[in-house]
Amino acid sequence: MPAEMCVQRVWRDHSHRTCGKAARLEHNGEWYCETHHPPTRVAKDAAKDAQRNAEWEAVRAFNRRWRDIVAAREAVIQAAKEWGSAEEKDGESATDLALALVVLREAEQAK
Please say whether the beta carbons of 36 and 18 come within 8 A. Answer: no
**Residues of the chain above pLDDT 70, percent:** 85
Report yes or no on whether pTM surpasses 0.85.
Answer: no
pLDDT in tens, 24-44: 999 998 999 999 999 999 999
Please report, as a single letter, which amino acid is at residue 14. H
Please say whether the beta carbons of 32 and 47 come within 8 A. Answer: no
**pLDDT for residue 61 is more than 90:** yes
